[in-house]
Amino acid sequence: MEKIISDRDRVRLDNFLKEKYPDYSRGYFQRLIKNGFVKINGKRSESGHKIHIGDIVEINFSDKERKILPSQIPLEIIFEDDDLIVINKQPNLVVHPAGCHQTDTLVNGLLYHCGGKYFPFLVHRLDKDTSGVIIVAKNEKSKEFLSRQFQNRNVEKKYLTIADGIIKENYGIIETPLGRSREKRKKIVVGSASKKMSKTFFNVIERFKTATYLEVKPYTGRTHQIRVHLAYIGHPVIGDAEYGNRSVIADRQLLHASQIKFMHPSSKKKVEFSAPLPADFKSALRALKNEKNNFNL
């Protein structure tokens, strides 16, 4: 059973769940709702029911969870205790089983790691091609405590990325409404009718001949937010085929969740964890530095 406190107002229940769990189809949630596996404030509801801010939405994924099998996947564990696990997620790894990815996801690897002692609860997600730090709760209490911090925007996140082209400003703020495309539901667009305001801060670390190395801090946590915002200002993430162009120096979007800071569920103290860059990101930086040095000769 998963529990979400709604941060949306007057949105269809099935659409709300699809937004929160983009790896699943709206039809899947409609079936769950019809069969009574989704409740609002403790009561059964319908797909077209409009939820409100503060509503408690409960989703019973128990049948789905029982079908998830453990897989021996290499995991880089940064920290682990009785409440949570912090992992440096490798690129090209889906976080949760869905579609054609049923046995090769982060959750499958965590099930193998835990040996049946607990079920791993994802309190936030990273895209398949995004690497870096991700938090996983080990019990219901920790899941609810951590989820509330994300919903209240009390979690501080930093990302590293390489953007296409030269960004002239040393720092800046990108603030636009984001929402799902009507033509392609998995794609996020600027200026959608959903009007979910999104804000991203960026600082330039280094400029190369054809690209810019950035530290990025998302104030809001919308789907694909950093990727869409950088594409919006004309500097998409290098390697991002969805919102930019494919790259000769990377076969995936070069976006890395480098740092996260939050309050620990038990100690109630702020904790901070960092994840080192993966090899392909470092290789891209070296290639760009060499290009820059050769250009300056």
Euclidean distance between CA atoms 262 and 153, whole angstroms: 10
Euclidean distance between CA atoms 105 and 73, whole angstroms: 8
Give the chain's domain count: 3
Q: Is the same domain home to 290 and 203?
A: yes
Reply yes or no on whether the pLDDT at 65 is more than 70.
no
Mean pLDDT of 3-20: 87
Reply yes or no on whether the pLDDT at 262 is more than 70.
yes
Of 210, 227, 226, whose CA–CA distance to 218 is shortest? Answer: 226
Let me know if residue 123 belongs to a domain.
Answer: yes
User: How many H-runs (helices) and E-runs (strands) does the chain carry?
Assistant: 7, 17
Reply yes or no on whether the pLDDT at 225 is more than 90.
yes
Reply yes or no on whether the pLDDT at 100 is more than 90.
no
Residue 260 C-beta-side C-alpha neighbours within 13 Å: 26
- One-letter amino acid at 254 equals L
Of residues 288 and 96, the one with the higher pLDDT is: 288
**Residue pLDDT, tens place only, 194-224:** 568 899 999 999 999 999 999 999 999 888 9
Least trusted range by pLDDT, from 25-34, 163-172, 207-216, 223-232 = 25-34
pLDDT of residue 194: 59
pLDDT of residue 67: 67
Of 33, 36, 40, whose CA–CA distance to 58 is shortest? Answer: 40
How long a stretch of residues is the chain? 297
Of 226, 228, 231, whose CA–CA distance to 216 is shortest? Answer: 226
Reply yes or no on whether the pLDDT at 68 is more than 80.
no
Token reading at 78? 């940064």
Active-site positions read: 127
pLDDT of residue 297: 41
Token reading at 119? 């079920």
Torsion 229-233-235-240 (CA) sign: positive
34 falls in which pLDDT band (50, 70, 90)?
confident
Let me know if residue 277 belongs to a domain.
Answer: no
Let me know if residue 7 belongs to a domain.
Answer: yes
Phi and psi at 269, nearest 5°, equal -110, 150
pLDDT of residue 293: 67
Among 98, 125, 152, the domain boundary falls at: 152
Of 247, 107, 230, 92, whose CA–CA distance to 160 is shortest? Answer: 230
Reply yes or no on whether the pLDDT at 63 is more than 80.
no
Q: How far is CA 41 from CA 6, 20, 77, 101, in A?
A: 11, 17, 36, 32
Among 48, 63, 78, the domain boundary falls at: 63
Report CA 76 to chain centroid distance, whole Å.
Answer: 18
- One-letter amino acid at 228 equals V
Q: Which domain holds residue 32?
A: 2-63
Euclidean distance between CA atoms 72 and 120, whole angstroms: 15
pLDDT of residue 173: 98
CATH number at residue 244: 3.30.2350.10
Q: Is the same domain home to 195 and 215?
A: yes
pLDDT of residue 182: 76
Q: Is the same domain home to 165 and 244?
A: yes
Q: Is the same domain home to 89 and 166?
A: no
Euclidean distance between CA atoms 250 and 266, whole angstroms: 40
Beta bridge partners of 260: 157, 273
CATH number at residue 23: 3.10.290.10
Largest CA distance in the chain: 70
Euclidean distance between CA atoms 51 and 41, whole angstroms: 10
Token reading at 236? 């998409």
Reply yes or no on whether the pLDDT at 23 is more than 70.
no
Of residues 286 and 186, the one with the higher pLDDT is: 286
Q: Is the same domain home to 70 and 43?
A: no
- One-letter amino acid at 80 equals E
